[in-house]
Amino acid sequence: MDQSVAVQDSLKEDENCIVAAQCQFFVNDVIESRLVSLVECKSEYGIFLFTHRRMAITKDDISLDKVVPITKDCTIEEVLSEFPVLGADMTVRITSDSVFLELQLPFSSHSQRFLDETCKACHGVDMSEDPCPQFLWLSKYLPKSALASDSEKKGAFIPTAAFKGIETEASDNKRKTGTATVNGKSQVSEETKQNIQNISDNNAVRDGKVKPEVNNDMVRSSSYTVANKAQMLAMPQFELRDNLIKCELLKREESYTFTKNYRFFVGTYNVNGQSPKESLLPWLKGGIEPPDIYLVGFQELDLSKEAFIFSDTPKEQEWSKAVYEGLHPESKYAMIKVIRLVGIMLLFYVKKELAEYISAIEAEYVGTGIMGRMGNKGAVGIRFNFHNSSLCIVNCHLAAHTEEYERRNQDFRDICSRLTFRSFDPVLPNLPIMKHETVLWFGDLNYRISDVDVEQVKKLIDERDFKTLYKYDQLKKQMEEKAVFDGFTEGELTFQPTYKYDTGSDQWDTSEKCRTPAWCDRILWKGKSVKQLQYSSHLSLKTSDHKPVSSIFEIGIKVVNEELYKKTFEEIVRSLDKMENECIPSVSLSEREFYFKDVKYMQRQVQTFTIYNDGQVPCQFQFIQKLEEPAYCKPWLTAQPCKGFVAQGAKLEIELEVFVNKTTATKLTSQEEKLEDILILHLERGKDYFVPISGNYLPSCFGSSLQALCYMREPIQDMPPEHIQQFTLMPLHPQTEPSNTLEKQLDIPKEVWMLVEHLYRNACHQADLFQQPGLRTEFEEIRDCLDTGMPDSLPGSNHSVAEALLLFLDALPEPVICYSHYHKSLDSSGSYTQCKQAISTLPQCHKNVFNYLMAFLRELLKYFMFNNLDRSTLASIFGSLLLRPPPGIKQDATQKKKVQEFIEHFISKQEDVS
């Protein structure tokens, strides 16, 4: 639903809500709904945030919460999630010098438009040459407190300074003005003036009466010119494309990887705080074939208090060395990583030649000991990628004591939730253990054999009836109940329990406690392509009260075929390029070129064409300015609409209108300018289409100068073009005819004569002459008549002829009383003699026309009984046309009065002035 209506309702007249969208906004960790909108005023933009009722319809439903002016230091960006999902919410971050906002917008066209428009506005600000937007219009929305905090910022934020100036108007102004009078010096008073200026501007804004800004007022098209299009296209969507490629690569992984089996050795050994006393080779050799990867875990590496309190222990070095020396002798290994938490240590070796395929290594630990944190119990883990497969290795030491199996289950769950790895990509969340393709989990899990007496256990061991014994294994029971290690597999136990022996022997615990033997030390796995080749313990090692356990796995690893990978990657890039090219907005135009034939003065000509969106995306179009031109088209041309939106497959009709009026006619008649223009139809993020417009203009007496017309004895359209050019471009002769003129000048233009003569003959008795408008169609006939022939009488009603006369005088490039005479004439309005003096210095043809018209007006007044005319009416109508102020000069009431007085002198006297 479009809620911009409600926002617009709350704004002032000159402020424009471009787009509004509903969004989620975090306030003190609470999500609240807001209406966010982009508001424009005089080419400045602000983001308004409103609290609102569920369906906001009017301004009463919303209340302004925040305003952020879009300044040069303001950035708007979409925060992209790791894998963009079509239809997901979008997060928009707005940051500037003093603001940080993060908004969550639902997936909708409003949201997208908000983002697009805001970015555009932001970009526009960056591009603009203006020194700095003032944001005066925003000041009324900003609370004082916000300004106070803003103004404390460094000077960079100039708009703030402007706000400050306004906000403090009441108090500061008086004071400063006071100072200024005392000092009488420039510095302060200038500033004060500036302030007052600001305030009055601001008040004007409040009243909804805005003084047009000269520089922007003339500009018909708003934001883009051809030149800055270059920058617009340069805004790349790097992240999006990256993520698309990543997704696609992941999807097609099978096409460029193959599975290769690697041999993994996994060992776990609770060393009971001892130092290595014997070779570890029997445990670590792992068969005839050297393993590719070694993952060796220890528990109770050091039981001393020092190890517990200080993390350093010499045992780490000792055991690492022992392990390195016990690795398979036929291969060279590189240590990739070691991680230790008090007594729990994990070593990671790989065959030297395979090391380059190991990447993204992260190691972490979690203590689950006393208080659930201490490191006497817990786990260490290493995650890494081997070729294209991800693996996670966990070595743990869970809670002890037979009856504590629940505690052990709890430890497992704790480790699962707390042991996470920093993600390789900083924007991604941490990786938990279970997110890996293969997990190898081992250690002193401490599950015991229970619910059976120790003698029975030992008997079963002696009988090597491990199957029966396994029935009493706590881990088995807990896994069956899915209380722990859900989804993990363990190989069959074909070796006797690994705990507890008298240290240095193969004898079961003979101490007072006489513990029941147990399979404390275990190796489990999770993952599809894991095959256990061997699972055993090693009785021959006698250093500890545990026996070490080992397992050999054959694990299928996804190996990248570089060639296929490159091929796949290139395919993806190609298809993305293709997609991107196809998504460049594109339209087709029903017509590419326009010719306007025989364009006449003040006669509209319209041609239409259709924009058809033949592309695959909706498109936003706009006619844009050409470099160094003030508008997107010449002043005699308009395109309607000049910007808009076309959906895929949709059509839109554009109307091109040519209309030549007094401002453009003169140069077209003199052929200084032609009916020629090229429109640039710009598609946002897309192509530009050039639309050439041309036509021919039929020269007209309207818009031609009195002098030029005096040279034309023929109707203007019967004149050869070169003569028209010659006469119209000739400089105005001050008084006398030039000697080199080919033809004798007429006293007054025949067109003036025809119009006046017609009125004189027919309209003296016409009621409301010069007060009633004529008909447009009749004007056209009169114009054609004047421009093409010399009939005895003019067509149309008296009113139309009268209006044609006024239009003719209005279109004169140089008024009857020349611009150069304007001030002089006004000054002499008090005295008829001086007025006559002013007229006498006019160029001859101007003087003639003036006198002729005055005589005509005097004649008209004789019939005031019929035509209802009076002196002041005629003086005011004709004064405004004959005695026009030069361009750029404004006429005030007094001057208008003087103009009227000037003319009145002439029409009240009966004598001739020449």
Partner 1 sequence: MAKKTYDLLFKLLLIGDSGVGKTCVLFRFSDDAFNTTFISTIGIDFKIKTVELQGKKIKLQIWDTAGQERFHTITTSYYRGAMGIMLVYDITNAKSFENISKWLRNIDEHANEDVERMLLGNKCDMEEKRVVPKAKGEQIAREHGIRFFETSAKANINIEKAFLTLAEDILRKTPVKEPNSENVDISSGGGVTGWKSKCCS
Which residues here bind partner 1, judged by CB under 8 A?
Answer: 225-227, 229-231, 233-234, 236, 238, 241-242, 245-246, 249-250, 320-321, 323-325, 332-338, 347, 349, 352, 355-359, 361, 385, 387-388, 424-425, 560, 573-574, 576-578, 580-581, 584, 592, 626-627, 678, 680-681, 687-690, 692
Task: Report the nearest approach of partner 1 to the CB of residue 266 (Å).
Answer: 18
Q: Between residues 585 and 885, which has the closer beta carbon with respect to partner 1?
A: 585
Q: DSSP string covering 811-872, please?
A: H-SS-SS-GGGHHHHHHTTT-HHHHHHHHHTS-HHHHHHHHHHHHHHHHHHHTHHHH---HH
Contact, 293 vs 337, CB < 8 A?
no
Q: Between residues 57 and 240, which has the closer beta carbon with respect to partner 1?
A: 240
Alpha carbons 773 and 763: distance in angstroms, whole number: 14
In 223-373, the DSSP E strands lie at 257-270, 293-299, 333-341, 344-351, 358-367
Task: Report the nearest approach of partner 1 to the CB of residue 596 (Å).
Answer: 17
Task: Report the nearest approach of partner 1 to the CB of residue 32 (Å).
Answer: 36
Task: Report the nearest approach of partner 1 to the CB of residue 238 (Å).
Answer: 7
Q: Between residues 385 and 420, which has the closer beta carbon with respect to partner 1?
A: 385
The DSSP output letter for 355 is: G
Provide the token pair at 371: 């208080």
Q: Between residues 357 and 863, which has the closer beta carbon with respect to partner 1?
A: 357
Task: Report the nearest approach of partner 1 to the CB of residue 525 (Å).
Answer: 23
Task: Report the nearest approach of partner 1 to the CB of residue 660 (Å).
Answer: 22
For residue 576, give Cα distances in angstroms to 212, 585, 684: 48, 16, 20
Task: Report the nearest approach of partner 1 to the CB of residue 429 (Å).
Answer: 15
Look-up of token digits 């080419």 = 43
Task: Report the nearest approach of partner 1 to the CB of residue 219 (Å).
Answer: 17
Q: Between residues 235 and 889, which has the closer beta carbon with respect to partner 1?
A: 235
Look-up of token digits 């690994």 = 498
Look-up of token digits 């339209």 = 587
What's the full length of the chain, in residues? 914
Task: Report the nearest approach of partner 1 to the CB of residue 228 (Å).
Answer: 9
Whose CA is closest to 812, among 663, 658, 604?
A: 663
Alpha carbons 738 and 382: distance in angstroms, whole number: 103
Q: Is the peptide bond before 106 cis (omega within 30 degrees of 0)?
A: no
Look-up of token digits 């070169």 = 722
Residue 889 backbone phi and psi in degrees, to 5:
-105, 130
Task: Report the nearest approach of partner 1 to the CB of residue 350 (Å).
Answer: 9
Task: Report the nearest approach of partner 1 to the CB of residue 229 (Å).
Answer: 7
Number of helices followed by number of strands (H, E) in the chain: 30, 30
Beta-sheet pairing, 605-612 with 588-589: antiparallel
Task: Report the nearest approach of partner 1 to the CB of residue 625 (Å).
Answer: 10
Q: Between residues 627 and 893, which has the closer beta carbon with respect to partner 1?
A: 627
Contact, 547 vs 501, CB < 8 A?
yes
Q: Between residues 261 and 588, which has the closer beta carbon with respect to partner 1?
A: 588
Q: Between residues 52 and 337, which has the closer beta carbon with respect to partner 1?
A: 337
Whose CA is closest to 777, among 759, 810, 804?
A: 804
Q: Between residues 447 and 623, which has the closer beta carbon with respect to partner 1?
A: 623
Q: Between residues 584 and 732, which has the closer beta carbon with respect to partner 1?
A: 584
Provide the token pair at 788: 């093409």
Alpha carbons 675 and 693: distance in angstroms, whole number: 8
For 145, other C-beta atoms within 10 Å of its C-beta total 8
Beta-sheet pairing, 438-444 with 389-397: parallel
3-state secondary structure of 401: coil
Q: Between residues 265 and 727, which has the closer beta carbon with respect to partner 1?
A: 265
Task: Report the nearest approach of partner 1 to the CB of residue 610 (Å).
Answer: 16
Encoded amino acid at 192, one letter: T
Q: Between residues 272 and 320, which has the closer beta carbon with respect to partner 1?
A: 320
Encoded amino acid at 791, one letter: P
CB-based burial label for 475 (10 Å; 0-12, 13-18, 19+): buried
Task: Report the nearest approach of partner 1 to the CB of residue 569 (Å).
Answer: 9
CB-based burial label for 834 (10 Å; 0-12, 13-18, 19+): middle
Q: Between residues 573 and 647, which has the closer beta carbon with respect to partner 1?
A: 573
Task: Report the nearest approach of partner 1 to the CB of residue 645 (Å).
Answer: 19
* Maximum distance among all Cα pairs of the chain, rounded to whole angstroms: 151
Give the DSSP H/E element, type plus range, for residue 8.
Answer: helix 4-10
For 510, other C-beta atoms within 10 Å of its C-beta total 11
Task: Report the nearest approach of partner 1 to the CB of residue 447 (Å).
Answer: 31
Q: Between residues 229 and 897, which has the closer beta carbon with respect to partner 1?
A: 229
Q: Between residues 333 and 499, which has the closer beta carbon with respect to partner 1?
A: 333
Residue 697's DSSP bridge partners are 599
For 514, other C-beta atoms within 10 Å of its C-beta total 10
Q: Is the peptide bond before 824 cis (omega within 30 degrees of 0)?
A: no
Whose CA is closest to 78, among 119, 47, 21, 30?
A: 119
Q: Between residues 300 and 677, which has the closer beta carbon with respect to partner 1?
A: 677
